[in-house]
């Protein structure tokens, strides 16, 4: 197991810090977020330490996301949310506060349930063809 000293989520995986576990297998651990945005707010993490999406290889990403539908369906069955948002924050600028990759599963209930993405669009501001070719050259 690749662990990182002083990483709170590595300590949770190792059982050194308590957590409300919802799922575990060889590669993945899932537990309730200590600060529940909505009822059932869950974090899904790889057991092997990786800082965030930039430092994650294909195989680990595949294993991690492969478990998300199962856990999302368990949340749906448990609490009957009317939807679910899946969120992953990378780097401080994007709201990452724990630097061990994690996926937030945020069950949704209604407009006032505590989670409201601020989604403002800028249709005319960007040249899509130009951007897509730039991105392609960096893949």
90 makes contact with ligand AMP (CB under 6 A) = no
Residue 97 interacts with ligand AMP (CB under 6 A): yes or no:
yes
19 binds ligand AMP (CB under 6 A): yes
The CA–CA distances, whole Å, from 123 to 118, 120, 126, 128, 139 equal 16, 10, 7, 10, 24
Nearest residue to 63 (alpha-carbon basis) of 26, 89, 32, 88: 26
Alpha helix (H) residue ranges in 25-108: 58-66, 68-79
Which run of H or of E encompasses 136? Answer: helix 128-137
To the query of whether residue 104 is one of the catalytic residues in this protein, the response is no
100 contacts 4 by C-beta, under 8 angstroms: yes
9 lies in the site for Zn ion, by CB under 5 A: yes
Closest distance of CB 138 from ligand AMP, Å: 25
- How many angstroms separate the CA atoms of 24 and 2, rounded? 16
The one segment of 57-65, 73-81, 97-105, 112-120 that binds Zn ion by CB under 5 A: 97-105
Residue closer to ligand AMP by CB (options 97, 136) is 97
Instruction: In angstroms, give the least distance from the CB of 48 to Zn ion.
Output: 8
* Contact status: 7 vs Zn ion (CB under 5 A): yes
State the residues that interact with ligand AMP by CB under 6 A. 8, 17, 19, 33-35, 89, 95-98
């Amino acid at each position: 197991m690749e662990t990182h000293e002083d990483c709170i989520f590595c300590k949770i995986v190792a059982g050194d810090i308590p957590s409300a576990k919802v799922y575990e297998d060889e590669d993945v651990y899932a537990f309730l977020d200590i600060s529940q945005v909505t009822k059932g707010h869950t974090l899904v993490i790889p057991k092997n330490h990786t800082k965030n999406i930039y430092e994650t290889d294909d195989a680990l990403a595949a294993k991690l996301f492969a478990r998300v539908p199962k856990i999302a369906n368990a949340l749906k069955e448990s609490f009957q949310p009317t939807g679910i948002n899946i969120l992953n924050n990378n780097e401080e600028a994007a709201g990452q506060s724990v630097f061990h990759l994690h996926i937030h599963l945020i069950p949704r209930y209604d407009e006032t349930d505590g989670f409201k993405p601020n989604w403002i669009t800028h249709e005319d501001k960007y040249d899509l063809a130009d951007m897509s070719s730039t991105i392609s050259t960096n893949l």
